[in-house]
């Protein structure tokens, strides 16, 4: 009888700890995944606007503003990494690419060049840090 009780308690504890563990794993990844998902969505919006010919400073202010704000969340979301200094440098490159597009785009051709530069900064970080 005692062993049956011990088994039941053990199973209950195991189940509980699994739930706690899964929750903390999910919390740990929701933030970085969320930052990346919104970045990807905003890049998609910008690409769609470029194709639609909506490239005035006013058209671009909201998506570029969101990309700029998300740039401030790179380190808080991802650190610590295997190489924090390199991660911060790549984050800085991303922020510089977004800054360079903000207020500097006059037409869709220029937007294409600026978007390519932002994409290149995404890829540079992914090459080193995305498993």
Q: Which residues bind ligand HEC (CB under 6 A)?
A: 29, 32, 36, 39-40, 43, 74, 78, 87, 90-91, 94, 118, 121-122, 125-126, 129-131
**What separation in angstroms does the CA of 81 have from each of 58, 60, 77, 87, 88?**
37, 32, 10, 7, 10
* Least CB distance to ligand HEC at residue 118 (A): 5
Q: Choose between 54 and 92: whose C-beta lies nearer to ligand HEC.
A: 92
Tell me how far CA of residue 13 lies from CA of 4, 6, 58, 115, 126, in angstroms: 14, 10, 56, 51, 39
CB of 59 to ligand HEC, least distance (A): 18
Which is nearest to 125 in space by CA: 47, 39, 45? 39
Looking at the Cβ atoms of 43 and 104, the one nearer to ligand HEC is 43
Minimum Å gap between C-beta 95 and ligand HEC is 8
- Residue 90: CB atoms within 10 Å: 21
CB of 103 vs ligand HEC, minimal distance in Å = 18
Judged by beta carbon, residue 13 or residue 72, the one nearer ligand HEC is 72
């Amino acid at each position: 009888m005692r062993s049956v009780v011990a088994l039941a308690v053990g199973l209950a504890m195991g189940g509980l700890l699994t739930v706690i563990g899964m929750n903390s794993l999910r919390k740990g990844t929701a933030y970085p995944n969320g930052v990346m998902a919104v970045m990807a969505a905003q890049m998609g919006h910008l690409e769609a606007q470029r194709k639609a010919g909506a490239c005035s400073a006013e058209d671009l202010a909201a998506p570029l503003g969101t990309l700029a704000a998300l740039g401030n969340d790179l380190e808080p979301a991802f650190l610590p990494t295997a190489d924090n200094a390199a991660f911060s440098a790549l984050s800085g490159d991303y922020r510089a690419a977004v800054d360079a597009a903000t207020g500097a785009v006059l037409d869709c051709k220029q937007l294409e060049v600026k978007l390519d530069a932002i994409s290149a900064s995404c890829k540079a970080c992914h090459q080193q840090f995305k498993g």
